[in-house]
Amino acid sequence: MKSHSSLRVGAALLVSLCAISIAAAGAFLKADGAKSSVSAVFKQMNVPVEAKFKKFTAQIDYDAAKPELWKASVDIDIPSFDLGDADYNQEVLKKEWFNAAQFPKASFVSTGMKAGAAGSLNVSGKLTIKGKTTDVSFPLTVKKEGANTVFDGTLPIKRLVFNIGDGEWKDTSTVADEVVIKFHVVAAS
């Protein structure tokens, strides 16, 4: 039977190894909700409309020296979608649009990142909206602003792929199928 002191040494060694592996994984960054934003831009009757998601969380593990090891996940609170009008906000939460009662969250989980042109990065991952998951990729810019790291990107999607706008709203002459998700995430370690 092992002595208590050798168990303590073993436990200390295990804790040290875990700390080293966590430090080697990169820097865990916390998104600043007051400085960050996620919005969706679409055309209704050929007029651009931008609406913001007021609540979202982002978990980012980023090492500028090794972007290929970067990992991120974002959860968006669907009921926080704001078109600037309370009646419209309630309408888009209904079953035909986001079906927020059944699917209150949308999410993105990264699966890879590669260096791109002009200092940008190409990100790939899984996007889930309204219970449907699809593979996506998009360019991302990363820059330092003082103690913060700023991530900016746009992700074009087709709303009908995710069944956003069922029934009469499948007609893209009123609301276009193309939607651009724009994000600006300011994060600190």
- Positive/negative CA dihedral, 59, 137, 38, 98: negative
Residue 158 domain-assigned (yes or no): yes
Confidence band of 16 (pLDDT split at 50, 70, 90): very low
pLDDT for 9 = 32
Residue numbers of the domain that contains 120: 27-188
Which residue, among 38, 40, 36, 78, has the nearest Cα to 180 in the 3D structure? 40
Residue 18 domain-assigned (yes or no): no
Residue 134 domain-assigned (yes or no): yes
Percent of the chain with pLDDT over 70: 85
Percent of the chain with pLDDT over 90: 64
User: Can you tell me the mean pLDDT for 20-32?
Assistant: 57
Compute the 3-state secondary structure of the chain and give helix, strand, coil in percent, each to the nearest 5. 25, 50, 25
At residue 20, does pLDDT exceed 80? no
Residue recorded with tokens 């190894």? 17
**Distance of alpha carbon 129 from its chain centroid, rounded?**
11
pLDDT tens digit sequence for 99-146: 999 999 999 999 998 887 776 889 999 999 999 999 999 999 999 899
Tell me how many domains the chain contains.
1
Any idea what the CATH number is for the domain that residue 162 is in?
A: 2.40.128.110
According to DSSP, residue 159 is labeled: G
- 3-state SS assignment for residue 22: helix
At residue 36, does pLDDT exceed 90? yes
- Positive/negative CA dihedral, 85, 76, 181, 129: negative
